[in-house]
Structure 1
Amino acid sequence: MTIAHTWPGWVATGLLWFLALEFMMGAVTKFWPGPTFFGPAYSIKFADWGWPAWFRFVVGAIEGVCALLLVIPYHQARFLGATVLILVLTGAVVTHIINHHGPKESVAAPVHLVVLSIVALATWPTHWMDVVQPGHWS
């Protein structure tokens, strides 16, 4: 019996799909031109946070690609997706701290940062080159 057929494997896969859906939704809302169910348009939010409005497209694209990497059933892909999202989330946490946001606006980024750090540790490759060498994802 493989780990995918056990309870912990099922939970881990469900968590990864949940995270991927969250980040895919975040990616879509970064490209959305107007207000979202998260509040004002991200073009306005990014400008208010001190970033250029176009930077939301960069963040959204990174989130979308990493969301896809999280659901690819190879540790190297999941590790790469989690690691890049850790970098993005570190920027989000720092942005929220610098802008003195309250708990309502600044809880999600640190929580996701911790969760994705756990994912990255759980999918840590045995050798660093395994992440970047083609043909090792099989």
Structure 2
Amino acid sequence: MTPEPFDPAADTAGPQRPTHDAAPAEDTWHGLPRAAGGVFAASGAVSLAGPGLGAAVALGLLALRDAPLAAALGGGAGVVALAVVAGAWLGVRRWRATAWMLGRDGLHMRRGIWWRCACCRSCWRCSPTTVSP
């Protein structure tokens, strides 16, 4: 028996690479990329870190009258950590509740659990040559 000649076009054993030339389907809502979840979480954590630090200082000053310094510092660190975790959680929830759609009349964004906020930018503002403010 003679082996059959190798045909690279018929080789299906190797991994298939996805093609990236297909554009997303129009008029369908898409979630934000996974990498954006980290950005939303970090921005939420930073946005609540300031108020958490202010609350920690206020509670620490009140606790210094009745508790030792170590307890006041530990409580303050706990308040800041709780604020940072809560901010990150809120940021991830905002990321999950944001969607986009590129329709015939422009780029649509939906934000919020019940889609309370929706905005549309016309197509000429979505071109890659213009810079949006």
Instruction: Compute the TM-score of the two structures, normalised by the length of structure 1.
Output: 0.27
Name the structure where strand makes up a greater proportion of residues. 2
Name the structure where helix makes up a greater proportion of residues. 1
Instruction: Compute the TM-score of the two structures, normalised by the length of structure 2.
Output: 0.28
Larger Rg: 2
Tell me: higher relative CO, structure 1 or 2? Use CA pairs within 8 A at least 6 residues apart.
2
